[in-house]
Amino acid sequence: MSFGTVLFLILALIAVVSAVGMLTSTNAVHAALFLVTNFVCIALFYLGLNAPFLAMVQITIYTGAIMVLFLFVIMLLGAAQVSLRSTLRWHGPLAVVLVLMLIGVAGVMAFSPAVNNNLTSPLALQEASTAFGSPQAVGEVLFSNYLLPFQMVGILLLVAMIGAVVLTREAKKPTRQPGPEESSPAGE
């Protein structure tokens, strides 16, 4: 077993354990920290997959911005303690069965002999140039082939920002009822 494989397995173990930790945690803050661990692992995988740009984005946006936002909301709402109990009968067992089936299907698809040869052979066999996945390469594609989607995603972010502002805004004037004196201010 090569060093790369060992490293992969260790990181994968950390990722899965942290994910399960998030799943089972009774404290929302802990859950968020488990998830951060998981995201860092994934960032490291990106590095190993010749995607340094994605690794940086993953760290800055996910762990840096999104997870901080999560933590901020948890603190704001004071909802750190959460219950694990489910109120729905049949729901939990059925969900577990289906999730296991999902993993099974994923395994069969990943290792079935019928799938593409490329997937089962080690990635080292595919020679990658040093430029592949560099921020420059990604940027060139992003600003040429994907320029329109890029702009649209920018608009999407703007819309989401405005939406978040509108949703959380305190209703200053609760449901205005036009009273008789309000409707004719000129008469005063």
Partner 1 sequence: MEEIAFLVPTSYYIILSGVLFAIGVAGVLLRRNAILLLMSVELMLNSANLAFAAFSRTFLDVGGQVFVFFVITVAAAEVAVGLALIVTIFHTKRSIDIDELHAMEG
Partner 2 sequence: MNGLFSIAPLIIAAPFAGMLVNIAFGRRLMPNKDSIGPGLVASSMAGVSFLVALLMFVALLGSPQGADVPVLTWIDIQGGDISLNIPWTLKVDTLSSVMMLVVSGVGTVIHVYAIGYMHGDIDEKAYLRGLHGEEALDFKRRRYVKFFTFFNLFLGSMLILVTGNNYLMMFVGWELVGLCSYLLIGFWFDSPEANESGKIVGVLNSEAGKKAFIVNRVGDFGMLLALMLIFWTFGTLKFDDVFARAAAAAPTTPIPLGPFTPALGAVVTVITLLLLLGATGKSAQIPLFVWLPDAMAGPTPVSALIHAATMVTAGVYMIARSNVLYAMAPVSGMTVAVIGGLTAFVSGTIAVAQFDIKRVLAYSTISQLGFMFAAVGLGGYIAGIFHLATHAFFKALLFLSAGSVMHGMEHGHHAMAEGEHGGGGGDEGHPFDPQDMRQMGGLHKHMKTTTWVYIVGALALSGIPPLAGFWSKDEILLEASLNSTLVYVLLGAATFFTALYMGRQIFMVFFGSERSEAARHAHESPPLMTTPLIVLAVLAIIGGLMNLPFGGFNQLGHWLERSVVNAHTGSFNIDVSITSTVLGLLAIGISYLLYGRKPLEEGQRDPLSTTGPVFTFLNHKWYWDELYDALFVRPFNRLSEFLANTIDWAFWHDFVHDGIIAQFVEGSSRSLRRVQTGYVRNYALAVLLGVVAILVYLVVRFLV
Among residues 6, 82, 108, 161, the one that binds partner 2 under rule CB under 8 A? 108
145 contacts: CB under 8 Å, gap ≥ 6:
none
State how far the Cα of 185 lies from the Cα of 188, in Å rounded to an integer: 6
Q: Output 12 or 91, the one with its CB closest to partner 2.
A: 91
Among residues 75, 120, 147, 151, the one that binds partner 1 under rule CB under 8 A? 120
Listed residue (70, 1, 14) closest to 42, CA to CA: 14
For the four alpha carbons of 83, 39, 147 and 151, in that order, the dihedral sign comes to positive
**Applying CB under 8 A, which part among 11-19, 33-41, 74-82, 108-116 lies near partner 2?**
108-116
Token pair listed for 173: 């004037």
Q: Which residues pair with 27 in a beta bridge?
A: 81
Residue 109 interacts with partner 2 (CB under 8 A)?
Answer: yes
Q: Output 100 or 128, the one with its CB closest to partner 2.
A: 100
Residue 114 contact, options partner 1, partner 2, none, Cβ 5-8 Å cut-off depending on partner type = partner 2
Length of the chain: 188
Angle, helices 28-48/3-24, rounded to nearest 10 degrees: 160
Residues 74-113: x where in contact with partner 1 by CB under 8 A, - otherwise, as a string: x-xx-x--xxxxxxx--xx--xx-xxx-xx-xxx-xxx--
Listed residue (65, 75, 59) closest to 27, CA to CA: 75
Token pair listed for 123: 């990635």
> Between residue 23 and residue 62, which ones bind partner 1 under the rule CB under 8 A?
23, 28, 31-32, 35, 38-39, 42, 45-54, 57-58, 61-62
Q: Output 76 or 186, the one with its CB closest to partner 1.
A: 76
Residues 76-95: x where in contact with partner 2 by CB under 8 A, - otherwise, as a string: ------------x--x--xx
**Applying CB under 8 A, which part among 112-120, 142-150, 154-162, 177-185 lies near partner 2?**
112-120
